[in-house]
Structure formats: C-alpha cells, structure tokens
Amino acid sequence: MLQKVSLFFLAIVTIIPCYIKYKRLKEKFNQELLFKQRHNCVVMYNTDLGMSGWPPYKKRIRPVITEENCLDVLYEPIIYFINTSTKTLDVAYMMISIPKIYDALIEACKRGVNVRLLMNFEHSKRDLNIIRKCIKEGMKVQLYITHLPDMSSIMHYKYMLKDYKEDGGYVLIGSMNLTRSAFLENYEDIVFTSDPYVSTSLNENFENCWQYIEAENQTLLNKTILLDVNLFL
C-alpha cells in the first residue's frame, strides 16, 4: 500500500511540472502563431458593417459606434503592430490625429525602439503639441513642406515598416490616414505582410524620402517655417 501511495505521489510530482511546461509551450506557440497571422492578413473597414479580417476573429466585428470603447477595437490592428515592434519603426503618413496612436509610438520610443515619423506639414498643424512631445521623447520626425500654393504636391504615404533587416521586416500599408473619421466613416483597408520583397522596397522608399526631406528642412526657407511654429527637427 505504501509503495502504491509513493508511486502515486511520484507520478503527481512528475506530471504537474510537465503539464505546466506543456501549457507554457502551448501558450508560446499560440502567441507566435497569432503574431504570424496578424502580420499576414488584410483588415477591411466598412462604415456600415464594422471591421473584418483581423485574427483571431473569423466574423466581421460590428462595434456600436456610439460607444467610445468601439474605437479601441478598431484601433487594435494599428496599436498591436506598434506595440510588437522591438528595434525599429518607420512611420510614413500624410496625417495622424489619434492620441492613442501617438501614445503607442511614444511608448515604443521609451522601450528602446528607434522610431522615425514622416508626415505632411500642412496636415499636421493641428497636432503640433503632440508632435513636439514625440520629439522630446526621442522620436525622430520630419515633415514634408510643399511650396506650391495649391498643395498639388503632398506627402501622401500611408504605411509603417518595423524591425527591418537585410532579410526583410514587417509592413503595414493601406488606404487610410490615421484619423477618427477614417475608422468610423470610411471604407478603408490595411494590408499586413512579412513579404521580404515588399519590406525591402518600402525600406528603400522610406530611406530615400527621409534623406530628401531632411535635407530640404535644413534649407533657410523650410527651417524658418518650422521655427515659426516652434519645431526643431
């Protein structure tokens, strides 16, 4: 009898650690699988039907747009992409006006991610205070300034590239500017991909644009425009 009891407790002592390890490995596997799925998908926004295509949801999400927390659901794909960056994050958008997205970018800076933000100057004037905060927190920022009176030339990109290295990185690209109305009122799409050809092409594009705009903003005219609104890029 004593021997049976001893064998029983031995089995328990052996099984429990194995089960705990199994649960941890399974959770890690599920998180890695979810990460892969969320970086290779297409998310669609529809003003009438809500959001679809964001793993693990298999059906269209239809949040009640009168509730403030619905925006957290709609912002989740963007915030997740930012929050899972580890080394670099290049952001090119005509305009960003959502405080929670700026907050996520700032938090990425604070955890050591090299964040570069490229936007259109004319469409960023209402958000200069938070842009100044981004710069203060260590974010690198460049704003494209057009000198054409009808703004026929603007920085109209809408993409992010993170953790890029020679064999690729992760891309978020789509039709929408990061504004509240884009999420709630428009028909928009975002493509997430880890395809190395796409990430390499966007990396080259971002580097070329960044260098060009950075040089332009060092000219006397652009520097004067930026200093007039207390921006020191």
Q: What is the mean pLDDT of residues 221-231?
A: 93
Position 133, amino acid: K
Q: Which of 40-54, 70-84, 159-173, 189-203 bottoms out in mean pLDDT, i.e. has the lowest?
A: 40-54
Mean of all residue pLDDT scores within the chain: 87
92: left (phi over 0), alpha (psi -120 to 50) or beta: beta
Q: Is the peptide bond before 56 cis (omega within 30 degrees of 0)?
A: yes
Of residues 104 and 12, more confidence is placed in 104
Q: What is the pLDDT of residues 108-119, one digit of tens each?
A: 999 999 999 999
Each residue of 129-145: pLDDT tens digit? 999 999 999 999 999 99
List, for residues 47-104, the tens digit of each pLDDT value. Answer: 777 788 899 876 666 655 555 666 788 899 999 999 999 999 999 999 999 999 999 9
CA pair distance 43, 188, nearest whole angstrom:
9
Residue from 54, 69, 81 nearest 188 by CA: 54
pLDDT at 28: 80
21 compared with 28, residue with greater pLDDT = 28
Percent of the chain having pLDDT more than 70?
A: 84
Give pLDDT, residue 9. Answer: 58
For residue 83, give every residue at least 6 positions away whose Cβ sits within 8 Å of its Cβ, in sequence order, or none: 104, 107, 108
* pLDDT, average across residues 163-189: 92
Domains and CATH numbers, the chain: 39-228 (3.30.870.10)
